[in-house]
A = this chain, B = another copy of it.
Amino acid sequence: MAGIADKMARNQKQIAISEFFEKNKHFLGFDTLQRSIITAVKEAVDNSLDACEEARILPEIQIKISKLDAKKNILELTSEDNGPGIPQKSIEKVFGQLLFGSRFHAIRQSRGQQGIGITGVVMYSQLTTGKPTSVLSKVANDETTVSVNIGLDTRKNKAIKSDQDRIIWKNDDDTLKEHGLRVTTRMKAKYQRGRQSVYQYLRMTSIVNPHAEITFVDPDGEVHHWPRVTERLPGKVDAIKPHPHGIELGQLQRMCKESSDSRMTVFLRQNFSGVSMRAAKELCEAAELDITTKPKSLKPDHIRALLETFQGERLFSGKAVKLLAPPTNCLSPIEEMLIKKGLSKTIDSKFITTMTRIPTVSNGNPFQVEVGLIFGEGMPGDKHVEILRFANRVPLMYQQGGCLLTKAIESVDWRQYGLEQAGGKGVPKGPAAILVHLASTNVQFTSEAKEALSDNEIVFEEARKAMLEMGRGLRKHLEKKKKMAKTREKFELINDILPAIAEKSATILDRPIPNLSGSITRIMSAVICNELTTWNAETKQVDVDITLFNYTARARSYSLLINWPEKEGAVMDRNERGGRKEAMGIWGWKLETLESGEFAKINYSLSGLEKGDWTETEVFFRGSQDVIGATKLDEKMLDEIRRQEEILANNESEGFVSDQTTQTTLIGGAE
């Protein structure tokens, strides 16, 4: 017995982070040969998109994969972009050193964050082929391009640099390359097609990055091209300070210890977001700290008191100190219209609903959930719905079952929204696809390979709420369709049968056939609204035609309202009836009284949209008698939309979000 503890202790030693990830390369997404090439492409493309966005360049990305040795499964990957390039002295660290990067401490939305991705590719390449990775980097203000080969000393987590040179890099048209990066690497990997493939990864990437131009040359030499859909770069995201609500005790201790600020108020205002001068003073008072205290000198008990004040456990004049929510200009959502566009590009279908929740906060990290649902008869009805997951505009292709976003979908009872689902749990079945995107300053993945989100109650709830709201939209769509179909059936039945009976009776009784239109109206006894939204290829406009029939015996009076994509930049055109704006995206018309048997028409067109952007218009009515084919306007909902408009307008000027408030659209939310 004696001595065994010593003997065991003698075998222990420190390993380098690079040794750790070399052995655990599957943590980084290099578990199978099929996946390894997808991971490599993903890391290269993520970096290119991040760099272009940061440098405010519209990205152009070329990916090329060729088979160097089919028998030994050796592929060569070349990835080229028009990004800002990397200065010569940084190249070896970016490509040859793990945990080296710029985004680890920055609180803002970005694809890469850890400083692992591309170095992992270099490492895997070296491990499986023994070869370094070649890098060409051209920076705008240099005349020449750096050319260098990078390998890794995994025992030391340092780059091994070789063959460094400066060259002239020309484009295909013989002009000088202005700026950009080209990475060429070889690896043991297998190229495959299908649902989990480089092709699919790039296709999905183009959906959520409509500003990117992506070209892919596959191993057979076939060229795939996803053109840019919008010239608008995603909004510039700014890094923000941590918010007091998200700070842990250990972190606060370290911040105090490392602070060189002269007094608490400066420390609180400069190192945290959401802390005004007033709040800083109130925080100090509630925590019983002098505002002139140096943060560095705080004792453990003081720090604990401060944290308790942050968390509202210590009060200032009987209340928790009020803090502003963190600014949300650190986020870059895709936005509803682009999701719609992306989804309809993927799957041709009739009904699309999307939903962008307004940003909220989990542990001091702002985040935002966006969802889209596409439903149509063209898709297979007996299969599970397709799930398209994205985080910070990056498609997630593996680990679907273990992902928070999938769990949020599974937690909804989709049966009440018209989809099949065994036991009201799990992924529903039906002719539908569900898209879900999380934009966050701190996406918590289950592993370094960044393929699934780990559990987080607040994010889960947001995603679930978005699903529920979208589900209600789907149900309304299906109910409306059903109701309209029934009404139409009834109408056709009455129009066929009543005249036949009348004719028969008249013949038998030898009397003239009576005029039945009054009777039909009485039997139908309904006001019916027909809406038709179509793409006019000639005028490049969306044409909307609405007809309101009064099939009742009495005169009726209505106002009609419709939703339209005003926020997304559409312009209303050819609207001869006039009407007025009721709220952002809501237009209304007061109609003249309709006599029994009469109908009224509303026509208008929407410009500034593309095909597929707007395929269905929701019609609401104000009036006493129900209208089949339209929804009774909920005035509270209209007020809510107006209120949220104001909040959003304020946000933009103040960088402030209210907590947990939802940006509801009339479509999804009139419940």
Please list the residues of chain A having a beta carbon within 8 angstroms of any beta carbon in chain B. Answer: 1-6, 8-9, 11-17, 19-20, 22-24, 26-27, 31-32, 35, 51, 54-55, 57, 72, 84-87, 89-90, 93-94, 97, 99-102, 104-106, 114-115, 126-130, 139-141, 154-155, 179, 188, 248-251, 253-254, 300, 303-304, 313, 399-402, 422, 442, 444-449, 452, 454-457
Sampled A-B contacts (12; CB under 8 Å): A1-B179, A3-B141, A4-B84, A6-B87, A31-B454, A35-B455, A128-B250, A129-B250, A130-B250, A188-B248, A446-B449, A447-B448
Contacts A72-B313, A128-B248, A130-B249 aside, 4 further interface pairs with beta carbons under 8 A come to: A1-B84, A12-B115, A27-B447, A130-B303
Cβ contact within 8 Å between B130 and A8:
no
Known contacts: A5-B179, A448-B27. The answer to whether A250 contacts B14 by CB under 8 A is no
Cβ contact within 8 Å between B99 and A15:
yes
| A86 to B: closest C-beta gap in Å | 6
A12 contacts which of B22, B94, B128, B455 (Cβ < 8 Å)? B94
| A484 to B: closest C-beta gap in Å | 33
Cβ contact within 8 Å between A444 and B26:
yes
Cβ contact within 8 Å between B5 and A140:
yes
7 shortest interchain CB distances as A-B pairs? A401-B401, A447-B447, A402-B402, A127-B250, A2-B141, A11-B102, A130-B249
| A185 to B: closest C-beta gap in Å | 13
Nearest CB to that of A32 among chain B residues? B455
Cβ contact within 8 Å between B8 and A51:
yes
Cβ contact within 8 Å between B179 and A250:
no
Q: Give the distance in Å from the alpha carbon of A32 to the alpha carbon of B128 in the complex.
A: 37
Q: Give the distance in Å from the alpha carbon of A84 to the alpha carbon of B3 in the complex.
A: 9
Cβ contact within 8 Å between B140 and A1:
yes
Nearest CB to that of A188 among chain B residues? B248
Cβ contact within 8 Å between A4 and B55:
yes
Cβ contact within 8 Å between A55 and B1:
yes
Nearest CB to that of A85 among chain B residues? B5
Name the B residues within 8 Å of A90 (CB-CB): 9, 12
Q: Give the distance in Å from the alpha carbon of A89 to the alpha carbon of B9 in the complex.
A: 9
Q: Give the distance in Å from the alpha carbon of A49 to the alpha carbon of B457 in the complex.
A: 33
Name the B residues within 8 Å of A313 (CB-CB): 72
Name the B residues within 8 Å of A179 (CB-CB): 1, 5
Cβ contact within 8 Å between B128 and A249:
yes
Nearest CB to that of A404 among chain B residues? B31
Which of the listed residues A4, A127, A449 has the most CB atoms from chain B within 10 Å of its own CB?
A4
Q: Give the distance in Å from the alpha carbon of A35 to the alpha carbon of B15 in the complex.
A: 28
Q: Give the distance in Å from the alpha carbon of A523 to the alpha carbon of B455 in the complex.
A: 65
| A310 to B: closest C-beta gap in Å | 13
A31 contacts which of B89, B249, B300, B455 (Cβ < 8 Å)? B455
Nearest CB to that of A304 among chain B residues? B130
Nearest CB to that of A127 among chain B residues? B250
Name the B residues within 8 Å of A32 (CB-CB): 455-457
